[in-house]
Amino acid sequence: MLARSIRTMTATEANEAIRAFMSARADRPLWPEEQAEYERLLEAWAAAVRRDLAMAA
C-alpha cells in the first residue's frame, strides 16, 4: 500500500498518507482493520514529528 516504509516516512509524507486514506473513506466510520491502519499512519506521523524535533534541538 505505502511506497515507503512507515518507519522512514517524513511528517509531510505521513500527513499526506493520512489525508489520502481518510479521503478515500468519504467520511464514513472506519472498519476495525481500517482503524488499525489509520492508527499505524498516525504513529508514523508522530514518530516523524519527534524525529524532526530531535534534529532541530
* pLDDT tens-digit profile, the chain (57 residues): 455 677 788 999 999 999 999 999 988 999 999 999 999 999 999 999 999 888 887
Residue with cell 492508527: 39
How far apart are alpha carbons 57 and 45 in whole angstroms?
19
Residue with cell 472498519: 31
For residue 17, what is its C-alpha cell?
498518507
- Tell me the C-alpha to C-alpha distance, in Å, between residue 45 and each of 7, 28, 29, 53: 9, 22, 21, 12
Q: Per the confidence metrics, is the pTM higher than 0.95?
A: no
Give the distance, in angstroms, between the CA of residue 45 and the centroid of all CA atoms in the same chain.
5
DSSP 51: H
